[in-house]
């Protein structure tokens, strides 16, 4: 039978050895003669000394220390007693009680800022969670403890935590990290010359190397640990380390050396009556002799192993029986105290029962009355508020209706001023007007006049939209009608100059701060219906001309425009779109006004002209919510120029609605197209 690593490859603790019998009752009598504070300190000290060998007695003494500390409000004494009770209950296997004691000790230590015991409690909480297999939680507590110990520069505490972290990393199979932690611990312990601790850490490092299957390194560290255990008379850990070496040499096949180490371990274990170590040595020796074919000795140690197992079980049973007996006596006393206490409580309860019922009835009645008053007041306030809200709602609805009616009436006036497209003379060239107000009322307007064989057309964008824009548009239409009715055959530039003068005068604009800055951008043409001669002027709004390229242009020759400084061109197949740039000044106040430029063109057959405002190109939409822009608009006009004006209008309207999608229309839209 092969001896597995789990048999004896666990990490060591340096144990306090006491070889004398302890009479706790006698000691308690002697301590009663001392001052309470000194009693607490001494009881805690003795409890700490008895922790490993007489933990039940230690618990009894430390509990007395805690009661005294609580009675005398001795805070530091309470912290230490609770901490020790946490350690002691962990030793006897009462994990829940151990956890509660450490948490109570930690809470009190935190209230007075006792960093030493805060760190110690964190460390022991880590040990509890490690023993329960919750390695992540254990590491969290170790890290908290380490942070405080580093702050306190408590080298012994730092070394202890590094060692505990090494144990966690070993269990997680992070073996290189485990060795790193143990070596950090070893470095500090060597600096402190704490040789018992050094021995334990060397043993821990040996165990990690064993897990790494580096048996030679494991043996090296075990031997160094063994030397210190022998030097400082620690027979318990000496016996364990000797057995570990026996198992390692068995794995290496060096059976004679393995037997020697196991025999030495067995002798030491018998001297201190360590039945567990005796048991594991019998197992190891039986395995060794089985491997060397010495079946007689293998059988002998197998029998001894069985007997020692029974003895170990008997010892554990006795220990458990003692614990149960002590628990029974303790529970019995506690039960008697509880019975007496409950009898007194029942007597008191019986006397107060009727009084409590009366008080409860009175309090309940008062609460009901208060709630009734509160609910009544809230309902009355809610009713009043609802009534006021309903009245305000009706007032708002009425005002909203009045405003809407007024706006709709203004719309009818504006529509009366704007000629319907179908009412424009049928003798005019093919044309369309795409007119899409943002709101009920529009700040964009179109204007048309046929006079003495000439066609005047304008597309304008007034400041603002909605009601303010509509007011400005109606003013613009009125002024255009007035100007063209008095004068004869004015050029577009002359019309714009006169229109600007009227706007500036009527709006009383002088360029001063706070005065009206209203005005409009406009593009206006005068077309000779017979000769196709076109005159145009623009205030911030351009003119688009689309015509077939001439033969010399098709061959790539330079185009000789009459006004090249004001023109930009784009081409599509045999078509060319020329954008005639406007004057960069509005119809309104301008700090440096100049006369508007009049442009004259002789149009070819099937040429198209377009007047427009900026609403179409500035509309946000599409997949990325960006502006439509003029480049796309020009491309659409070029690609669909061969179609009728009615079809072009439908295409532009469809493209605009699709681009806008669910987004809000941001401005009024007006585009006029004419085919010559």
Query: Which structure tokens are listed for 281?
Result: 């040595």
**Domain assignment present for 168:** no
**Domain assignment present for 214:** no
- Taking residues 17-24, report their average pLDDT: 38
Identify the domain boundary among 76, 98, 121: 121
Statement: residue 324 has pLDDT above 50: no
- How far apart are alpha carbons 204 and 303 in whole angstroms? 32
Residue bearing the bigger pLDDT, 570 or 587: 587
Statement: residue 152 has pLDDT above 90: yes
Q: Residue 411: which region, alpha, beta or left (left: phi > 0; alpha: psi -120 to 50)?
A: alpha
Query: What is the span of the domain harbouring residue 41?
Result: 23-121
Residue 124: CB atoms within 10 Å = 23
Q: Which pLDDT score is estimated for 407?
A: 57
Q: Which pLDDT score is estimated for 16?
A: 28
> In terms of C-beta distances under 8 Å and separation of at least 24 residues, what long-range contacts does 217-223 make, across chains too?
218/248, 219/245, 219/248, 219/249, 222/248
Number of domains in the chain: 2
**Domain assignment present for 365:** no
Statement: residue 451 has pLDDT above 80: yes
CATH of residue 35: 1.25.40.10
Note the pLDDT tens digit of each residue in 627-641.
999 999 999 999 999
**Domain assignment present for 177:** no
Statement: residue 6 has pLDDT above 50: no
3-state secondary structure of 440: coil
**Domain assignment present for 167:** no
Pair 176, 205: CB distance under 8 Å: no
pLDDT band, very low/low/confident/very high, at 501 (cuts 50, 70, 90): very high
Statement: residue 452 has pLDDT above 90: no
CATH of residue 587: 3.60.40.10
Statement: residue 19 has pLDDT above 50: no
**Domain assignment present for 464:** yes
Q: For residue 522, report the phi and psi dihedrals to the nearest 5 degrees.
A: -150, 150
Q: Which pLDDT score is estimated for 34?
A: 56
Percent of the chain with pLDDT over 90: 52
Statement: residue 408 has pLDDT above 60: no
Note the pLDDT tens digit of each residue in 411-427.
555 555 555 555 455 55
Minimum mean pLDDT among 203-212, 289-298, 581-590: which range?
289-298
Minimum mean pLDDT among 5-9, 127-131, 135-139, 488-492: which range?
5-9
Q: Cβ-count burial of 460 within 10 angstroms (0-12 exposed, 13-18 middle, 19+ buried)? A: buried
Statement: residue 134 has pLDDT above 90: yes
Q: Which of 229, 248, 247 is nearest to 238 (CA)?
A: 229
Statement: residue 212 has pLDDT above 90: yes
Percent of the chain with pLDDT over 70: 79
Which range, 21-30, 90-99, 173-182, 233-242, has the best average confidence (pLDDT)?
173-182
How far, in whole angstroms, is CA 204 from its chain's centroid?
A: 41
- How far apart are alpha carbons 404 and 440 in whole angstroms? 9
Q: Which pLDDT score is estimated for 411?
A: 54
Q: CA torsion, points 14, 19, 20, 25, in degrees to nearest 10?
A: 30
Q: Cβ-count burial of 81 within 10 angstroms (0-12 exposed, 13-18 middle, 19+ buried)? A: buried
Statement: residue 342 has pLDDT above 50: yes
- Taking residues 87-94, report their average pLDDT: 88
**Could you tell me how many helices (H) and strands (E) the chain has, helices first?**
20, 13
When the pLDDT of each residue in the chain is averaged and rounded to a whole number, the result is: 82
Q: Which pLDDT score is estimated for 565?
A: 47
Q: Which pLDDT score is estimated for 89?
A: 92
Identify the domain boundary among 100, 121, 142: 121
**Domain assignment present for 213:** no
**Domain assignment present for 441:** yes
Q: Which pLDDT score is estimated for 357?
A: 75
Identify the domain boundary among 87, 121, 155: 121
- Taking residues 343-350, report their average pLDDT: 58
Q: CA torsion, points 236, 237, 243, 246, in degrees to nearest 10?
A: -140
Query: Which structure tokens are listed for 582?
Result: 């406007």
Find the distance separating the first CA and the last CA of the chain, reported in whole Å: 111
Buried b (16+ CB within 10 A) or exposed e, 568-588: eebeeeebbbbbbbbbebbbb
């Amino acid at each position: 039978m092969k001896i597995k690593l789990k048999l004896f490859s666990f990490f060591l603790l340096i144990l306090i050895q006491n070889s004398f019998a302890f009479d706790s009752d006698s000691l308690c009598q002697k301590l009663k003669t001392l001052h309470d504070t000194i009693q607490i300190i001494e009881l805690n000290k003795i409890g700490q000394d008895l922790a490993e060998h007489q933990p039940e007695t230690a618990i009894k003494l430390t509990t007395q220390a805690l009661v005294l500390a609580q009675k005398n409000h001795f805070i530091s004494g309470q912290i230490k007693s609770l901490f020790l009770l946490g350690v002691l209950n962990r030793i006897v296997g009462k994990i829940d009680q151990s956890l509660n004691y450490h948490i109570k000790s930690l809470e009190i230590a935190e209230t007075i800022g006792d960093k030493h015991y805060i760190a110690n409690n964190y460390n022991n909480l880590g040990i509890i969670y490690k023993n329960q297999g919750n390695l992540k939680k254990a590491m969290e507590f170790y890290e908290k403890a380490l942070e405080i110990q580093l702050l306190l520069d408590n080298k012994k505490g730092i070394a202890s935590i590094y060692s505990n972290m090494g144990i966690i990393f070993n269990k997680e199979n992070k073996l290189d990290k485990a060795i790193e932690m143990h070596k950090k611990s070893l470095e500090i312990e060597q600096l402190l010359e704490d040789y018992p601790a050094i021995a334990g850490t060397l043993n821990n490092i040996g165990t990690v190397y064993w897990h790494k299957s580096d048996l030679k390194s494991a043996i090296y560290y075990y031997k160094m640990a063994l030397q210190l255990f022998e030097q400082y008379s620690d027979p318990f850990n000496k016996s364990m380390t000797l057995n570990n070496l026996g198992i390692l040499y068995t794995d290496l096949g060096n059976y004679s050396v393995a037997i020697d180490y196991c025999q030495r371990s067995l002798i030491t274990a018998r001297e201190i009556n360590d039945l567990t170590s005796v048991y594991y040595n019998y197992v190891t020796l039986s395995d060794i002799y089985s491997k060397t074919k010495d079946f007689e000795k293998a059988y002998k140690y197998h029998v001894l192993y069985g007997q020692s197992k029974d003895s170990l079980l008997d010892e554990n049973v006795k220990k458990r029986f003692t614990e149960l007996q002590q628990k029974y006596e303790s529970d019995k006393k506690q039960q008697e105290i509880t019975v007496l206490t409950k009898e007194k409580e029942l007597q008191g309860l019986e006397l107060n029962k009727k009084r409590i019922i009366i008080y409860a009835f009175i309090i309940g009645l008062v609460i009901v009355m208060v709630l009734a008053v509160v609910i009544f007041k809230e309902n009355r306030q809610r009713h009043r508020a609802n009534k006021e809200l309903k009245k305000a709602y009706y007032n708002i609805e009425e005002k909203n209706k009045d405003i809407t009616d007024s706006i709709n009436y203004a719309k009818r006036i504006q529509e009366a001023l704007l000629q319907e497209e179908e009412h424009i003379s049928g003798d005019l060239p093919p044309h369309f007007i795409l007119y899409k107000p943002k709101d009920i009322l529009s700040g964009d307007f179109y204007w048309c006049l046929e006079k003495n064989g000439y066609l005047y057309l304008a597309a304008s964008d007034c400041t603002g939209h909605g009601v303010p824009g509509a007011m400005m548009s109606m003013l613009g239409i009125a002024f255009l009608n007035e100007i063209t009715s008095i004068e004869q055959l004015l050029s577009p530039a002359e019309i714009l100059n006169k229109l600007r003068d009227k706007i500036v005068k009527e709006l009383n604009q002088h360029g001063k701060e706070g005065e009206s800055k209203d005005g409009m951008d406009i593009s206006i043409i005068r077309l000779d219906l017979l000769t196709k001669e076109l005159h145009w002027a623009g205030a911030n709004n351009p003119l688009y001309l689309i015509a077939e390229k001439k033969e010399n242009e098709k061959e790539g020759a330079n185009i000789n425009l009459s006004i090249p400084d004001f023109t930009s061109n784009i081409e599509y197949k045999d078509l060319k779109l020329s954008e005639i740039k406007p004057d960069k000044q509005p119809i309104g106040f301008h700090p440096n006004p100049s006369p508007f430029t009049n442009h004259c063109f002789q149009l070819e057959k099937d040429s198209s002209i377009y007047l427009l405002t900026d609403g179409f190109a500035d509309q946000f939409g599409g997949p990325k919510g960006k502006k439509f822009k003029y480049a796309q608009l020009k491309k659409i006009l070029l690609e669909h120029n061969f179609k009728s004006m009615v079809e072009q209008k439908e295409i532009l309207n469809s493209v605009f609605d699709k681009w806008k999608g669910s987004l809000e229309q941001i401005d009024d839209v007006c585009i006029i197209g004419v085919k010559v």
